Amino acid sequence: MLQIADRMNTLGTETAFEVLARANALAAQGKSIINLGIGQPDFATPEHIVEAGRKALADGHHGYTPANGIPALREAVSADLWRRHQVEVSADDVLIVPGGKVTMFFAIMILGEPGVEIMYPNPGFPIYESVIRFSGATPVPMPLHESKGFSFSAEEVLSKITPRTRLMIINSPANPTGGVVPKAELDKLVSGLRDHPQVAVMSDEIYGEIIYDGAEHHSLLRYPEIRDRVILLDGWSKTYAMTGWRLGYGVWPKQLFPHAEKLAINCHSCVNAATQYAGIAALKGPREPVERMVRAFAERREFIVKALNSLPGIRCVNPGGAFYTFPNIAGTGYDAKTLQTELLDRTGVATIAGTSFGAFGEDYIRISYANSLEALGEAIERIRRFLGNLPLSSAG
């Protein structure tokens, strides 16, 4: 019998991958599955980006790159941050990593240890809480409120800071709720953070370009008063439909950067070279493919929110960003996990129980609308029939 390190017992997982496996297994049995569990755009990576990756391979970019990323990519990130947020970021502070998740893992492992508290959004991306526990730190949930469009209350968050708090994680626009934290709430939070100079902030802005109703994404990089303790997490996965390429970046405070870079060298050496060239093409290329994708998401959001609100026992707030809705299902009489299982097994619609995103996700399910309008319409009809105890003829 092999002996496993104790710390492995503290590591959680991401249920989305389990639901995906179950949905695929059911599909393999011939069942008609509509996957609304998935957290990735249903668009192909734009062709000019794919071509840049192909060309990099043809041009012989087959070796290691610098651990922090090729200079041209880090410069392109810096220029992109200026375009989007009008903030100056030195390319020296940018660490290119294989996906958004890596910045999160590094930040938590650099700052987390027993005796330390790390605050994280709940319901939130499940890996936050999982890695906080893995680091030995204590996870302290920052509740998100449906009544506030799934934002937090700055006052409530600030009241949870203790002398042991070392890191606070913010995610806006958010997974799983689609919620966007209003600028006024961010202003209040940052103002309060002045009294807590020991608290670093990791701002997960991976959905920052998927935002609706003409709203502007307000990056935490825009607050000079906390700039020396903000870690920005961003990447290509969602904006450019590049989840499988594995490309992300962190902007690190100077004090933390060498630690993050050392972790990269110990862990993955560098990101796949051709992927990095594709990343340059994404940032420097036309914005039109991104705009087209966001327009499609906006149209689907409008449809799905209205449709969900027409279902018995369900109410759904209009999410400000990302491609998720987080309907309240308390009125259906099901708990979240049971509804997830029943919907998948009986109607073939894959969703994710809100509890997969933390204890405060009870009473909710996550529905990703990264799927066609036609598929969304069919899914809603199946759910309507299920909730109304009507025959599920079309579920296959």
126 binds ligand PLP (CB under 6 A): no
Q: Of the listed pieces 99-107, 181-189, 299-307, 384-392, which binds ligand PLP according to CB under 6 A?
A: 99-107
What are the structure tokens assigned to 27, written together?
Answer: 């599909």
366 binds ligand PLP (CB under 6 A): no
Tell me the CB-side half-sphere exposure of residue 48, using CA atoms within 13 A. 12
C-beta of 181 vs 395, nearer to ligand PLP: 181
206 binds ligand PLP (CB under 6 A): yes
65 binds ligand PLP (CB under 6 A): no
248 binds ligand PLP (CB under 6 A): yes
C-beta of 97 vs 387, nearer to ligand PLP: 97
What are the structure tokens assigned to 21, written together?
Answer: 């496996």
**Lookup result for tokens 């087959």:** 62
243 binds ligand PLP (CB under 6 A): yes
Cβ-Cβ contacts under 8 Å for 271 (sequence gap 6 or more): 65, 69, 96, 97, 98, 246, 247
Ordered alpha helix ranges (H), the chain: 15-28, 47-58, 71-85, 100-111, 126-135, 154-159, 183-193, 257-267, 273-284, 288-309, 336-342, 373-387
C-beta of 250 vs 348, nearer to ligand PLP: 250
Choice from 65, 172, 237, 371 touching ligand PLP (CB under 6 A): 237
CB of 238 to ligand PLP, least distance (A): 7
C-beta of 40 vs 191, nearer to ligand PLP: 40
Q: What share of the chain is helix, strand, coil (3-state, %, to 5)?
A: 45, 15, 40
Among 190, 201, 198, 192, CA closest to 252: 201
Identify the burial level of 328 via C-beta atoms within 10 angstroms of its C-beta, where 0-12 means exposed, 13-18 middle and 19 or more buried.
middle
What are the structure tokens assigned to 205, written together?
Answer: 């802005």
204 binds ligand PLP (CB under 6 A): yes
Q: Number of residues in contact with ligand PLP, rule: CB under 6 A?
A: 13
Choice from 125, 152, 257, 360 touching ligand PLP (CB under 6 A): 125
C-beta of 251 vs 311, nearer to ligand PLP: 251
Query: Residue 150 in contact with residue 144, Cβ under 8 Å?
Result: yes
99 binds ligand PLP (CB under 6 A): yes
CB of 175 to ligand PLP, least distance (A): 3
CB of 296 to ligand PLP, least distance (A): 19
Strand-pair category, 349-350 with 324-325? unpaired
100 binds ligand PLP (CB under 6 A): yes
What are the residues binding ligand PLP (CB under 6 A)?
Answer: 39, 99-101, 125, 171, 175, 204, 206, 235, 237, 243, 248
